[in-house]
Amino acid sequence: MTMRHALVLGGGFAGTLAAIVLAHHADTVMVVDRDRLDDAEAPRRGIPHGRHTHVLVSGGARALDKLLPGITDHLFSLGAQRIGLPGRYMATAAGGGWFPRHEGRQFIIGCSRALLEATVRERLLDHNNITFVSSADVVGLTGDPARVTGARIRDRATRTERTIEADLVIDSTGRSSRAPQWLVELGLPEVEEDVVDPQIFYVTRRYRAPDGAHNLPAINIMADPTRTDRVRGSGLLLPIENGTWSVTLSGTVGGHPPVEEAGFHDFAAGLPYPTIAELLDLAEPLGSPFGFKADANRRKHFDKLVPPGFLVLGDAAATFNPVYGHGLTVAARGAVALRDGLARARAEASQDIQRAIARASQDAWMMATSQDFRFPQTLGPRPESRDGLAQRFQERLGRSAMSRPAIADAQMAIFTLSTSPAEALMRPSVLLSALRGPDPAVKPLSEPPFTPDEREVLAQCR
């Protein structure tokens, strides 16, 4: 598909990837954002969530490498941490204790959102047909129900409005996207939306890791749906660049982590395991904690309705409970779908490409909503209860994961969006392990599985 001019609304993570993809298919590509994008190191007004912990799971890292070959190695060279073997370990606690240490194939990348975004944005410089309009709000689309022909933008300083014509417009303005209203203004019906709200509140604070502690594991304490008190919360201590830890606590109704300093620490100490609080005692805080009322899981069915000339990518199409760390990966997988779709599409193929973008978010949607529905406070239409056999299989998997590495590997492949749940769980080794059930010889660990070397480092820091 070749075009004269393509327009990308919003130059965040998804918009940047979209622009790079489009640069191969259009004579010129224009990116419009309400922020100034040349100062990626500073937290931007347009992405307040950018200050919070952002992991990139291995499924997303692979998608990003497909789009931008060598980008993850470049991130590592800039200080991003590879968490998962080979690399730094992630100690994970779930309801029954700590997972034993074992080598898996999946990983996550730990770095600040600012470093990730700046590194990806650098690749725009490889394309001299991409231009930017900064400090401008997108206020609407132009066209009619049969075709989108451009967008209306308003300069933030002068308040003057102008229209930009384009052969293809991509909306990547994120969670606050007004695309549904813009399409209604063109005469199209309301887009259908699914909403599943776990009512999560998020608080993040950065710390300088103590000297010598640079290789300590990441710590992931998962929420336990069987707990009814405030320890139902979760915590993640993620090593990022420059010897820094990004620490995020989250909780739900009646158990929000406090944004003030002492309360933040107390909440960490009150999680089912106090490991994060104990590590924070050794570290130096860098600034105050900041909070965020996380969005619901929200999926808009543009795939049923987009007219030719228009596509929606990233959070503008679907958002997820951030606890699972999947939004960036869904955006990267959506950009791969865009690339593949444009490579084989006719000019009028918007709906086919939008369907492929929707498929790229399907596993993340299933994972986030099925996990969230395990918690009673989650709002939204609950799926009909599954038949007893599937339910019992799920429960058995959950109980056996700690003592059966094949099941833990499958769960990690699903969590990192590396393999679809159906494929991961139907492997003979997983089915056999589930059949055997929990291994009675492997007792749940009540303490994180630190190595003797790591314990030595901790002892020296104290």
- Contacts with ligand FAD, residue ranges (CB under 6 A): 10-15, 32-35, 46-47, 49, 52-56, 137-138, 172-176, 202, 292, 294, 314-316, 322, 325-329, 331
CA-to-CA dists, residue 95 to 23, 112, 198, angstroms: 47, 29, 18
Judging by beta carbons within 10 Å of its beta carbon (0-12, 13-18, 19+), is residue 310 exposed, middle or buried?
buried
Q: Which is nearer to ligand FAD, 137 or 454 (CB)?
A: 137
* Beta-carbon contacts of residue 308 (< 8 Å; ≥ 6 apart): 146, 147, 148, 347, 348, 349, 350
∠15-68-353 over CA atoms, to 5°?
A: 50
Name 408's Cβ contacts closer than 8 Å, sequence gap at least 6.
99, 102, 104, 401, 402
Q: Toward ligand FAD, which CB reaches closer, 158 or 385?
A: 158
CB under 8 Å to 458, separation ≥6 — which residues? Answer: 213, 216, 282, 450
Closest CB to ligand FAD among residues 175, 227: 175
Rounded CA separation 49/87 (Å): 27
Distance CA 389, CA 247 (A): 39
Q: Please, which residue, 54 or 404, has the CB nearer to ligand FAD?
A: 54
Taking the complex as a whole, the smallest distance from the CB of residue 356 to ligand FAD amounts, in Å, to 17
Q: Give the nearest distance from C-beta 13 to ligand FAD in angstroms.
A: 4
Rounded to a whole number of angstroms, the minimum distance from the CB of residue 30 to ligand FAD is 12
Tokens coding 256: 């929000």
CB of 176 to ligand FAD, least distance (A): 5
Going by the DSSP 8-state scheme, the letter that residue 189 receives in this structure is P
Is 176 or 391 the residue whose CB approaches ligand FAD more closely?
A: 176
Residue 51 CB-half CA count within 13 A? 18
CB 310, min distance to ligand FAD, A: 15
Nearest CB to ligand FAD, comparing residues 11 and 405:
11
Min CB(67)–ligand FAD separation in Å:
14
Work out whether strand 130-133 and strand 26-32 pair parallel, antiparallel, or are unpaired: parallel
- Closest separation in Å from C-beta 49 to ligand FAD: 3
Nearer to ligand FAD, 114 or 316 (CB): 316
